Amino acid sequence: MPPTRKDIRELIDFGAHLAREAGAVLKRGFNQRISVTYKGRIDPVTQFDLKAEKLITSQIKKRYPDHAILAEEGTARESSSPYRWVIDPLDGTVNFAHGFPVYCVSIAVEYDEQAIGAAVYDPERDEMFTAGSGLGSRLNGHKIHVSGENRLERSLLATGFSYSVHTDRKNNLGLFARMVKKAQAVRRPGSAAIDLCWLACGRIDGFWELYLHPWDTAAARLIVEEAGGRVTRLSGKPFSIFDQDILASNGRIHRTMRRVLTGK
């Protein structure tokens, strides 16, 4: 049976509770001695990624033992249940490892592969972004909405660069150069989930990136859409969290952003 609104609210509350607990782990470890290993040439993981993921997944397994799990640092559980949790225990690991205070915990819960609840917690600013399917988006309990800006030249945008930027021919540098000449300004905070949440609450007006992973966007995508924003691929086609390019905006500058990024 599909979840009711009450069910969704309970899942959001639980996800937010987990995100806040994991965020406390990260906050305690921030600017402390950090052990960094690498999954790739410049793709780091710290002991705090692992601690936060273990905290989140162990509590999900205890409360919802039949739910599937997909998490960045390798915790995966297949299940016949229609519910799946998609988790990034530390989005912005490079920032975290360098003491740069832009990072977060991202947790989404899906039903039949569609996000129905989301929580993204920013420990440094004590900001909890939440959303539920059909329930809108909130920041620390207050409803949020995307900006009303409709001109790209007056828009503040955000983007990022993948860990494969040194080797990929399609590496976003050309797109960045193209967009920075058209928008008011482009920022690169270093956490896709935070970028998308800031879009949802109107701090920025648009966002794009290449080569993201499902856990980077699963929660924040719902937060943007429930705040009135639009999320597609760069081409304008429907977006899946398993796609490797994303274009998100307040909806008003979406077509203009797409034309700049694709030339179409």
pLDDT in tens, 13-41: 999 999 999 999 999 989 877 766 665 55
pLDDT in tens, 169-181: 678 999 999 999 9
Q: What is the reported pLDDT for 168?
A: 66
pLDDT in tens, 155-170: 999 999 876 655 666 7
At 125, phi and psi to the nearest 5?
-110, 5
pLDDT in tens, 107-122: 999 999 999 999 999 9
Q: Which residues pair with 230 in a beta bridge?
A: 249
CB-side exposure of 53: number of CA atoms within 13 Å? 21
- 242-252: average pLDDT: 96
| Cα 128 to Cα 16, 20, 180, 230, distances in angstroms | 7, 8, 30, 21
Q: What is the reported pLDDT for 209?
A: 96
- 183-211: average pLDDT: 97
Give the dihedral sign, CA 104/142/56/65. Answer: negative
Q: What is the reported pLDDT for 253?
A: 98
Q: What is the reported pLDDT for 38?
A: 64
Average pLDDT, rounded, for the chain: 93
Q: What is the reported pLDDT for 89?
A: 96
Q: What is the reported pLDDT for 31?
A: 83
Q: Say if residues 232 and 142 touch (Cβ distance below 8 Å).
A: no
- % of the chain with per-residue pLDDT over 70: 92
Compute the distance between CA of residue 183 and CA of residue 75 in angstroms, rounded to an integer: 39
When mean pLDDT is compared over 38-47, 157-166, 242-251, the highest value belongs to 242-251
pLDDT in tens, 122-158: 999 999 999 999 999 999 999 999 999 999 999 999 9
Indicate if the pLDDT at residue 245 is higher than 70. yes
Other Cβ atoms less than 10 A from the Cβ of 135: the count is: 17
Taking domain 152-262, whether its CATH number is 3.40.190.80 is answered by yes
| Cα 214 to Cα 192, 207, 220, 231, 240, distances in angstroms | 11, 16, 11, 14, 8
Which CATH number is 5-143 given? Answer: 3.30.540.10
Q: Report helix, strand or coil for 73.
A: coil
Which amino acid, residue 158?
A
Q: Where are the domains of the chain?
A: 5-143, 152-262
* Six-digit token string for 12: 């959001």
- 64-88: average pLDDT: 89
- 236-247: average pLDDT: 96
Q: Say if residues 219 and 107 touch (Cβ distance below 8 Å).
A: yes
